[in-house]
Structures are given as structure tokens and as C-alpha cells.
Structure 1
């Protein structure tokens, strides 16, 4: 997804040309995304069992704790460590400084969560929330041993060893979740499984990276780390305000069962954006950082990423919206059918969010994290305002708030990043169109077929779901072949072997 012909600065700071750079990027994407897919297959296989054993109220309580965890986690220092990726060179002392900063921040966060747990429980009116938060503080203690090895391996585009550790961690988390659910531990299942996953990653990454260094708490001369990291930190803070304010607002107004239905609908709708796009961004940030002095390569790479991603994301979201009812009944059971209206609305909103989050690694690689921060600030204003208004119509109003705020934030981010990247909003829209237009036509056809053909037959949910998915896949493939044949060829070139155009391709 990044131009293969670009010059880049190596870890030693010297400028050099590396013809195999594109192959390294492609390998990094395959390992990072491939491992994510396999890890999610493992996780979802167990989740489908666990979700049938637990109650929506368990997920509602867990969602309340995640708001607190997320608001504290933005201070975990990951952004400071990320400055090591963007830098042209690093020395051992800076690595020790970053590790010391990570240890200090995360120990403080664990202490704050332990002491503040009763306050969170009082806010929600749920005493059990305090006990859950106290145990979840263990996650912060694992973070330094994940962040530093991951950042240093990402700097060299070494995602193979990360991928293997992530797969082992996924197995550890899934095994813990299944065991706890079968043992009848209820909501504690959702607490112990992430702890097992995080600590397995911490131990595994520390071993494979061989990066167990002695921390330094002498922070003199680390201005670049703090400056870059502070902008990333505030971006994360504003993103958390944007993404967690719905549950924060709803948790005080609605009972855990209803909140659990909404929270799981949001989780399901966000699967693609939350699980598959971040791994691509993890590769994109160091890759963009290598070609940051080549504007043509940056433009070409970004628009290519949008085009290819939407070829997969658009049919996923549109298909999810029109198959939500039989899918929920088939995978989760009838007690979860209350999720369906939320899924249908949220899926459409997340089309815009999926593209919007692609702007961050571009800005950060260009050394402009302030642009990302200002965009996130816009989201932190737009979304809570929309949620407060939407909450007057219940949880369905909060879902509709997503569909209003998401396109507005996309437009804001595109207008802020476009001039720095040298692209227009129209060029971004054109890059989205090859995937989005056929997906919308497919979704309309599938919805009509479901209503007028399959509906009167009263088929069992699994059969109905299978037929709708098959019809959607057939229609989408046919439409791409008829209307966007070049898009298919583009994906094939990306997977097999592709070269960027010699000149600047901005469209």
C-alpha cells in the first residue's frame, strides 16, 4: 500500500534506495492482517459459545468498565513510544527513556484505577463495577512490555514475529474465556480473558524481540518523544471522548440489559473497523514514514489504500445491514434480536468512519500529529453532542447520532488532511466509489429479495442467512466484473505483484 519506488531513510539515518521496500511492506501487511484474521477466527469461534452462555446484562456491566479503562488507557504512553517509529534514528538511551516512561505512566494508571473504582461504581449505580475495575488494573502493568517491543519491531516492518505472538495470545484469551464461561463465572469471563491475552502478549513480545532493557527515569533530552507523543496522546484522548461517550451517557440512563444489546451491536458493527483497519494502519505508519519525503508516492499510496479497503469494507457493512436479523438469530440466539435495529443503522455510519481513520497514519508520518489531534477534537465535539441529543429518543436515537456525526467527521478530516497530502475531497470520494457503489446496489437487491421472495417462505434463520449471503456475494462480484473490472485487476496486482505508475497518479 506504499509505493515501491520510494526512497527512504534507514534506521541509521542515511538516505538510501531499497527496491525491495514494497515487498517488505506487502509482507508486513500479509503477516499483520493475516494473523489478525486467524486470531479473530479463534476469538469469534469462542465468543459465539460464550455469548450464548452469558446474559446481555453481563455485557452491559463490562461495557461500563470499558469506558473507564479506555479513558485511562489513553495515558499509557503508547504515543510516546510511537515517536521512535517516526524518528529517522534512535539510540539505546532513548529506548531506555521510552521504557521508563511507559513503566511510570502505567503504574500510575493502575493505582488511579484501583483508587477510583468505587467512584465509577457510584456513578453507574452498579457496585460490582468497582470489583471488576480493580482486577482489570492488571492490564496496565502488562502494557510497557507490549508497547516497546511492538514499536521497535514495527519500526523495521518486522510483523512476522509479532503475528506469531498475537496468535498464541489469542489462543490464551479464547481458552480462558471458554473455561470461565463453562465454569459459570458470568461477567468475570469478560475480565479474565483480556488479562490472559495481554500478559501472554507481554511475555511473548519481550522474548521474541529480545528487548528487555533497563529503564531510565532520566528524561532529559527526550523533547522529541514528549512533543510527538503529546500530540498523539491528545488525539487518543479526543478519540476516546468520541468513541466512548455513547456508553458513558447511556450507562447512566438505561439499565444493563438494554445497554448490553446496544454495546454488542456496536461491537459487531465495528468488527471490521476495529479489528482489521488498525493492523493496516500499524503497517502504514512506519511505511509512510519511510516515504514521507516523496509526496507523489504518499498520494498514490493513500488513494490506493482507500480504493482497496473499500472493495472489502463496503460490501461487509452493506451486507451486515441487510442480513442483521437472520445473522443475529443464527449466531447469537433469539435473546439477542434486540441488537438488530442498532446494527442496521451503525453499519452505514461506519463506512465513513473506516475511511476517516486512515488519515491519522498519514499525518503522523508527515510529522503533523497536530492535524490528527485537531481532527480528533472535532470528533470529540461532534459525537457527544449528537449522543446527548439522540439519547432523548432512547438507545435507537444514539445509534442514529452515529449516522449523523460520522459523515461530518469524515468531511472534516478529509478537508484538514487533503491540502497537506495534495489530494481533494473529490479524489477521496472517487477512490471510495468502486467499492461503495456496487455494494449499495447489492444491498438494495438483497433487501428486496429478502422481503418479497424469502420472507413469505418463513425459512429458518440459518437457511435464510445462507441464501442472502450467497445472493449478495454473487451480485457484488457480478457488479464489480461489469462495472469495476479494473478494481478487481488492481486487487490482483496488489496480492500478486504490482508496481506504481512512474508518474504521479492522484486519481
Structure 2
């Protein structure tokens, strides 16, 4: 059983990572191209729109999708009931957003938000059906199909978006990209998954799933709404151009980290759920997850921090140089994300969604406290507040697993400490290059990356060899 779960995780991680990295590469390339055509204000407008859409998406899902994955004997009646309820909620929220969009536009002093909101909100209805398709794939751990669908959606929508941007449609090119992407993914999965809902509905099944799912929904809702409150506050207190640079600086490290972290979470939750009654095995998987994810993400984040200035100059041009400090602070924040994910997914997998909700409430109180304090200083202090919150939140997420998994906080820190110490030394070595004079930023970037690679892998081989060899073994192993 343990070997089969391990094989599923390795195979799932491979295809999920391929899906994430494939779509993120296309998405990142799209962002770079659009950033050269559009202006920071366009990205600021889009960030405000997505703040509302993200919150609405959580309400549409209602945590029932997570409950379906966690439920051992879910059947067609469960899936069909969740679909019809999600569709009903999505339509209701769309109608609400349609009518309040003028008020949103008035609040942020930009009439363009009204029509943009009404069009982008259509993704909620499409996403309701798509979310159940994804749940079917996650339960069966058929991540190869997800890879095909998401990559197809991203490529088609990217081509259309670039064309619209070149024709001068501005922020509309970003909005249409999101809409087309969701449509293509849903259509593709319809043929790949071949799941058709039954004409049946059960409130009893919904209530049963909701008993678990509402806590997951509340946790996700709190996380989403606080993140989007940051966006709304920055958009209200500062200019939309400042919001654009703040959001773009955050997106580069978040794209990299969440590519891996979301892949990890998508695979770990169903895998953890399968062995939820075997605490020693579950603890062992969490230990391996922490070590492997930190070994991969920590050096990438700190390398991005060290190369932020030349990277932004090369990829986004000088007009985006204001995004550099936000990028650097976000790199510190996202370096810890895989540890957050492993701990929370383990808590949910053993059915302790109430504990996960309590953790989320505590974290968001801290988060909003820092926001209320920092917003009165400057936008840079707002970004710094998010970093400090992330560090405190990590301790909050780790603490319950002292009881549930007998995995102490100090043990978790000790497991990843060698990786983080080596990554910090690597970053310091890369930053020391700033004292040198270079012909151009391309040479500076290349030299920093070479030095970083030599230092990180050299020190890892000496001081963290066991973890390094284990990661290489996973990477080299053939996946089915």
C-alpha cells in the first residue's frame, strides 16, 4: 500500500508539475509580452477585478469539491448534487456582481470596472462545471489529462490575448484571456474525462459533504479575502499604477512558487487521504514533502531575490523597475509556502478541517493587523507586512501537527534548516556580485546564476547530501 501511494505521488507530482510548469511557462511568456505592450495601470485594473472574482469562486465551490476528494465512497449522486448546487450558486453570484458592478466602479473611481466586471464574472458559471471535472481527475489521480487541458487552454487564450493587445484593446486583452482559457479547459476536459452528471440531486448528500466542506471553504475564503483585501486597499489608498507594479512584482515569485506548491497540494491531499488512518506513514510523507519541496523552492526564491534588478530590466523593461522591491520581498514570503501546504493538507486529510479553519482565522487576524498598521506608512511597508505575517503563519500551521502527527515544530525546522542555510549563503554570494562592474545586465544575470548554482549544489553535496541525492533520485526516476 505504501509503495503504491508513493508511486501515485511520484507519478502525480510529475504530471501535475508538467501541467503547472507548462501552463506557467506559457502564462509567464504571455505576461512578459503583454507587459511590454500594456502599462502598469492596466494590470492594476485587472488585479482589482480578480480580487472580487477570486472571492466569488470560493463561494461557488463551497468547499464541497474538497469534501468529495476526502470522502472515501463518493458516488455519482454526490458528484451530480455538488454540480447542480455549484451552478445555482454561480448564477446567483453572477447576477449579484452584474448589478453591483457600477457601485464597485464608483468606489474605485474608474467607470471601466463596470463592464469589465460583468464580462469576467461569466467565468464563475463556467468554473462551476469545471470544478467538478477537476474533482473527478483528482480522485482518480489522472493528472496527465489535466496537463493536456490546462496547457491547451493557456496556449489558445494566450494567442487571442496577444492579438487583442496588439490591436489596442488594453486591459480587455487580459480579461478575454481569462475567459477564453476557462472555456477551452472546460470543453477539453468534457471529452477527456467523459463525466456526465446524472439527473439526480440529494440534499442529504450535500449536507453530509458540507459538514466537512464548509470548514475548508471558510479556510480558503479567509485566505482569499485577506489576500484580495490587500489588493483592494492598495488600489484605494494608492494609484492603480502603483498597484500594477506591486501586483506584478508579487506575480513573478508567486508564479514560480505556486507552480510547485499547487502541484504539491493537488497530489498530497488525495495521497494523504488514502493513508489518513496510518499516522506514522502520513508523518513520513510530510517529512519527505518538507525536505524535497524546500530543497527545490528555497534556492529558486533566493536566487530570484538576488537577480531581481537585472531580471526585471531584461524581461519587463525599465518601466517596471518599481516592481523590484516588491519582487524581492515576495521571494522571502513564497520560499516558505511548500511547508504551509504540506502541514495544512495533512490536517485536512485526517478530517480535521475545523482545526485548519482555526489556524486560518488566527493567521488572518495577524494578517489584517499588519495591513491596518502598515498601510499608513507606505506601499513598501504593506509588502513587508505580508512577509512578517507569512513567518508567523508558518508556526501557526505547524503547531497542530505536534498533536496529530507527533511532528514537533522544532523537528520540522531542523529538517529543512540545512537547505535554507545553504540557500541563504548562495544568495549572499550572488549579491556580492553587485560590487563588480559588468558590460550589461545580461552578463550580470548570467554570472550571478552560475555563482549561485555552484555555491548551492556544492554546499548541498557537502552538508545536505542525503536530501540532495533523494531529490535527484525522484527527478531521474521514470514516471508512469
**TM-score, normalisation: structure 1:** 0.91
Q: Decide which of 132, 139, 163 is 2:123's aligned counterpart.
A: 139
The match for 1:274 is 258
Between the aligned partners of 1:269 and 1:393, the Cα distance in structure 2 is: 24
The match for 1:321 is 305
Q: 1:22 to 1:328 in 2, by over 3 A?
A: same
Does the CA contact (< 8 Å) of 2:56 and 2:124 recur in 1? Answer: no
Pair 1:465-2:470 in alignment: no
The match for 2:407 is 423
**CA-based RMSD:** 1.6
Does the CA contact (< 8 Å) of 1:59 and 1:187 recur in 2? Answer: yes
Q: 1:112 to 1:217 in 2, by over 3 A?
A: farther
1:458 offset after TM fit, Å?
Answer: 4.4
Q: Decide which of 340, 358, 361 is 2:324's aligned counterpart.
A: 340
Q: For 1:188-235, what per-residue CA distance to the aligned partner results, in whole angstroms no more than 9, with x for missing partners?
A: 111000111111111111221111214544423432211111111101
1:459 offset after TM fit, Å?
Answer: 2.8
Q: For 1:299-352, what per-residue CA distance to the aligned partner results, in whole angstroms no more than 9, with x for missing partners?
A: 010110010011111111111111111000000000000011111222112223
Q: Decide which of 253, 270, 286 is 1:286's aligned counterpart.
A: 270
The match for 2:78 is 94
Between the aligned partners of 1:276 and 1:497, the Cα distance in structure 2 is: 18
1:287 offset after TM fit, Å?
Answer: 0.6
Does the CA contact (< 8 Å) of 1:48 and 1:331 recur in 2? Answer: yes
The match for 2:47 is 63
Does the CA contact (< 8 Å) of 1:242 and 1:381 recur in 2? Answer: no
Between the aligned partners of 2:199 and 2:240, the Cα distance in structure 1 is: 43
Q: Decide which of 171, 183, 192 is 1:208's aligned counterpart.
A: 192
Pair 1:410-2:394 in alignment: yes
The match for 1:434 is 418
The match for 1:491 is 471
Structure 2 unaligned blocks of 5 or more: none
Between the aligned partners of 2:138 and 2:363, the Cα distance in structure 1 is: 28
1:147 offset after TM fit, Å?
Answer: 1.0
Q: Decide which of 441, 462, 476 is 1:482's aligned counterpart.
A: 462
1:259-408 equivalent positions in 2, closer than 5 A: 259-408=243-392
Q: Decide which of 434, 438, 447 is 2:431's aligned counterpart.
A: 447
Pair 1:29-2:13 in alignment: yes
74-83 vs 348-357, greater mean Cα deviation: 348-357
Does the CA contact (< 8 Å) of 1:322 and 1:443 recur in 2? Answer: yes
Between the aligned partners of 2:241 and 2:343, the Cα distance in structure 1 is: 36
Does the CA contact (< 8 Å) of 1:145 and 1:203 recur in 2? Answer: no
414-423 vs 230-239, greater mean Cα deviation: 414-423
Between the aligned partners of 2:245 and 2:151, the Cα distance in structure 1 is: 29
Q: For 1:269-301, what per-residue CA distance to the aligned partner results, in whole angstroms no more than 9, with x for missing partners?
A: 212333321121111111111011111110010
SS of 1:20 mapped into structure 2: helix
Does the CA contact (< 8 Å) of 1:50 and 1:181 recur in 2? Answer: yes
1:485 offset after TM fit, Å?
Answer: 1.2
Q: Decide which of 109, 112, 129 is 2:96's aligned counterpart.
A: 112
1:239-254 equivalent positions in 2, closer than 5 A: 239-254=223-238
Between the aligned partners of 2:100 and 2:175, the Cα distance in structure 1 is: 18
1:447 offset after TM fit, Å?
Answer: 0.8
Aligned length in residues: 478
1:167 offset after TM fit, Å?
Answer: 1.2
Between the aligned partners of 2:205 and 2:317, the Cα distance in structure 1 is: 57
SS of 2:439 mapped into structure 1: coil
**TM-score, normalisation: structure 2:** 0.96
Q: Decide which of 128, 137, 151 is 1:167's aligned counterpart.
A: 151
